[in-house]
Amino acid sequence: MDLFIELGILIAASALISIVMRILRQPLIIGYIITGFIVGPYVFNIAQSEEVIRIFAELGIAFLLFIVGLNLSPKVFKEVGVPSLVTGLGQIVFTSVIGYIIVQLFGFDVLTSWYIAIALTFSSTIIILKLLSDKGDMETLYGKISIGFLLLQDVVATIILIVAASSRLGESGGGAVLQNVLLLLGKGAVLTVVLILISTKVLSRLTGFLGRSQELLFMFSIGWGLGVAALFYSLGLSIEVGALIGGVALALSPFHHEMSAKMRPLRDFFIVVFFIFLGSQLSVADLQSVLVPALILSAFVLVGNPLIVMALMGAMGYRKRTGFFAGLTVAQISEFSLILILLGIKNGQIAQSALSLVTVVGVVTIAASTYMILYADKLYAWLGRVFSIFERTHPKERTGDAAKRAYETILFGCNRTGHDIVEVLSREGRDLLVVDYNPEIISYLRGKGITCVYGDAEDAEFVEELRPWEAKMVISTIAEPEGALLLLEKIRSRSSDTIVILTSQDIPEAERLYKEGVSYVIMPHFLGATYAAELLRKNKFASESFAFEKTKHLSYLETKKQRGHTHPHIEKFEM
């Protein structure tokens, strides 16, 4: 069959199956793998140009890892707080050890067992960010903690991929294993340092020139990513590690966001082929032999991983709801898991059957966990009482003495908009209670003598303890639809007099809130436009007035910067 026709059929088939996946509210990754199985040699045998598809798949991995590297700047470590660090590392250790024991019971050799066990530890950052974004949970307490430990997983996965890639030269046995691994790691470390120096000392001077042309920036990104990958490969390292390091070297560039955005369409196309290739490697015989182990390992990932996270977060003092919701985000395996297994096969260290096993685990866990996350509220309502064993008697998220009396005003969320509201209400001497899930904000408010509690506004039990319906006014600056409706429902079911001010980023959602009985909806972007229009009306063409506004605004921005506030960055996640 002609290669062009073959690729056309592959893409058309994946598009049709992707439509079905979208209707079923499933990540498209599953559709791509199913497409690969259908067009592969064991069903319709349409994908006959295996070598070409394999090269396309390797390009997909290279582009994916290059973009991951672009986003692994030092800022990542700043974003990963202590709860995320403890939970992330703890989950990786417990999952890999328990997973290894389970895999060993099925008769796999030691090295294969470790490969599979480690593959079970990683969760898909892309899929989880997409689901959190769709649910509007990016700014919740569990969302922040989950994003933190998913970023940590990406860093750990990067290190493991580098070690796995370097281990392929350690097949000669004895002391040569360690010697070859250290030699390869040394080469990689030296080359990485050289590339970072080139990026910071040489390329930094060219970024202005490159940034003036979007096409040039795009071509430079491709050339740099593939060029570094080829350089690593020529020195005995892997293409995957080369692409990853190529991205890391550019992570400090002021244009790394633009490079990442430009590369995403290319990554998306080739990564589709990668998952199709994975699906085409599945055979009916392999599926029959790995089905039982795959289902048991899937159950471990779907149930065991969330329980591990809940236990760790409960030990740190978080409420059972926060632990449960965060735990669901690790109830599937990642694209890194599949790449790791492919790397092991390429190194000749594990058998092809391991890929079939982990791919089936991937399909099952991604499909099931997607529904678990989408219907997490109903699951929690059903199972919430069972999870009390994971919650301390006096959890970190507790109302304490704050719940012993009613307040004139309760504010949920003290970042950005909320900070300004606190400043105004404090100056007026209002009887104010602030609720926030950021420990730094809580410490800051307590230092200012402002009454505050640490907790999540979406936790129904926590909100119930605060009795917001007894307040004269309740304000929430958290633009999460479900949380806003929960708060409004709690208040309006007991009080029609309380003034309720909520926040929304969406017009239909704001209209819905008004219908449900909210007093006023804050829409930050529209308020900003209204303020700017009023500024233009008032100042007209008076340059001295704008100079005054400029000075005032710069002072305001400096205060915001000192408080660690940033303008929200909205990004769509698709996979």
CA distances from 213 to 182, 203, 208, 223 (A): 41, 15, 9, 15
| pLDDT tens digits along 206-236 | 766 776 778 888 898 899 999 999 988 888 7
Neighbours of 291 (CB within 10 A): 13
Residue 575: pLDDT over 60: no
Q: 56-72, pLDDT tens digit by residue?
A: 888 988 888 888 888 77
Q: Give the CATH number of domain 400-522.
A: 3.40.50.720
- Which of the four pLDDT bands, split at 50, 70 and 90, describes residue 573? very low
Beta carbons of 359 and 282 less than 8 angstroms apart: yes
Q: In the predicted model, is pLDDT for residue 392 greater than 80? A: no
Give whole-number Cα distances, 289 to 292, 294, 336, in Å: 8, 9, 24
Question: Where along the chain do its domains lie?
Answer: 3-388, 400-522
pLDDT at 26 over 70: yes
Q: pLDDT tens digits, residue range 405-460?
A: 888 999 998 877 788 889 898 888 889 999 988 777 888 888 888 888 888 877 87
Q: Do domains 3-388 and 400-522 have the same CATH topology?
A: no
Q: What whole-number distance in Å separates Cα of residue 322 and Cα of residue 392?
A: 13
pLDDT of 467-498, one tens digit each? 899 999 999 988 777 778 888 998 999 999 99
Note the pLDDT of residue 166: 66
Q: From edge to edge, which strands make up the β-sheet containing 452-454?
A: 452-454, 432-436, 409-412, 473-476, 499-503, 520-522
Let me know: does 247 contact 263? Beta carbons within 8 Å: no
Per-residue pLDDT of 73-96, as tens digits, reads 666 556 567 888 899 999 999 999
Is residue 394 over pLDDT 70?
no
Q: Tens digits of per-residue pLDDT, 315-349?
A: 888 888 889 999 999 999 998 899 899 888 888 88
pTM greater than 0.75 (yes/no): yes
Band (pLDDT 50/70/90 cuts) for residue 193 is: confident
Mind listing the pLDDT tens digit for each residue in 288-301? Answer: 888 999 999 999 99
CATH number 3.40.50.970 given to 3-388? no
Residue 116 clears pLDDT 90, i.e. is over it: yes
What confidence tier does 115 reach under pLDDT thresholds 50, 70, 90?
very high
pLDDT in the model for residue 188: 76
pLDDT band with cut points at 50, 70 and 90 for residue 122: very high
Residue 564's pLDDT is what?
Answer: 63
pLDDT of residue 68: 82
Does pLDDT of 520 surpass 90?
yes
- For position 202, what pLDDT does the model report? 80
Task: State both tokens at 565.
Answer: 């506030």
CA distances (Å), origin 193, targets 197, 246, 276, 452: 6, 11, 35, 46
